[in-house]
Structure 1
């Protein structure tokens, strides 16, 4: 049976959907041109028309997987511009309700800092910067920090987010308890900073 015709945009989306599903189930090590060609039922020639190399395929797949999480977090922060506690609670809920395989794959990229795999290291730095930049303006305003300090604080908060998600994934804690724990953590930071500022 012949595959239905897809225009260039829809074909690339189909390929990225398929690539993401491979990574969700089997991790980044399973993603290759051969695996994707087999799973998507396309020729390797067609893949190379869309991705010049495995590095580009990896980067495009990571971007594709990251976009939903980034957009949802951006919307939550925009909707709760004056309430960082509520914003962080809702942003954490976004992460905790993402498919575990997707979150694990993104965590593997974001936490990557090996110089041996340059394409992973480059994506990792870019994702960390994007995530930190989402929170930095809110933290600057709430905690009266300069941009550099706010960015550092934002990244420390993000590490606690991903840590809580790992605990949920390991079934060490429930989503509800993880959300309470993160909220308390943020409140302690905010209260501590406000007390420090008033001295």
Structure 2
């Protein structure tokens, strides 16, 4: 049976969704032009028509997987600029709505610590900066920090944020307990910053 016709945009979206599923199920190191062609049941020629190289495929897949999380998190942070605890708690709840494989794939992307010379590490650094920049404004306001300091704190907080997710994955704690710990952690972090600012 012939594959239904898809326009260029729909075809590219189908390929990216297929690539995301490969990463969700098997990890980033299994994503290749060949695996995408096989899983997508398309020709290698079609894959190469849409992606210049496996590095381009990896970067475009990361962008596709990351976009929904980024957009929804941005909306939450903009809607709760006056309460960092509520904002970050709701942001973590967004993460809970994603399939387990997708969460683990995004974590693998963000936590990459391989050589800085690899294309994957460059993508990883780019998305770490995007996340830090996303949280910098609310952290800067809540903790009275300059942008550079707030950006550094943002990533440290995000590591605990994703660390909670990893504890859930390991069946060490529940989602509810993870949220409680994040709230406890941030409340004390903000309170400590206020005391430090008042003292100085």
* 1:107 equivalent in structure 2: 107
* 1:40 equivalent in structure 2: 40
Q: Does 1:87 align with 2:87?
A: yes
Q: Does 1:52 align with 2:73?
A: no
CA RMSD of aligned residues (A): 1.0
* 2:75 equivalent in structure 1: 75
* 1:137 equivalent in structure 2: 137
* 1:15 equivalent in structure 2: 15
- 1:95-137, Cα deviation, whole Å (9 max, x unpaired): 2332111111111111113127611111111101100001101
What is the TM-score with the length of structure 2 in the denominator?
Answer: 0.97
* 2:146 equivalent in structure 1: 146
- 1:144-190, Cα deviation, whole Å (9 max, x unpaired): 11111101111110000110000011111000000000010000000
* 2:98 equivalent in structure 1: 98
Q: How many residues align?
A: 199
Partner Cα distance (1:154, 1:33) in 2:
35
* 1:125 equivalent in structure 2: 125
Partner Cα distance (1:171, 1:117) in 2:
35
8 Å CA contact 2:23–2:30 kept in 1: the answer is yes
What is the TM-score with the length of structure 1 in the denominator?
Answer: 0.97
* 1:2 equivalent in structure 2: 2
Q: Does 1:166 align with 2:166?
A: yes
Q: Does 1:25 align with 2:25?
A: yes
Deviates more, 1:10-19 or 1:105-114: 105-114
Q: CA offset at residue 93 of structure 1?
A: 1.1
Unaligned runs of 5+ in 2: none
Partner Cα distance (1:68, 1:169) in 2:
21
1:169-180 to structure 2, matched below 5 A, reads 169-180=169-180
8 Å CA contact 2:116–2:122 kept in 1: the answer is no
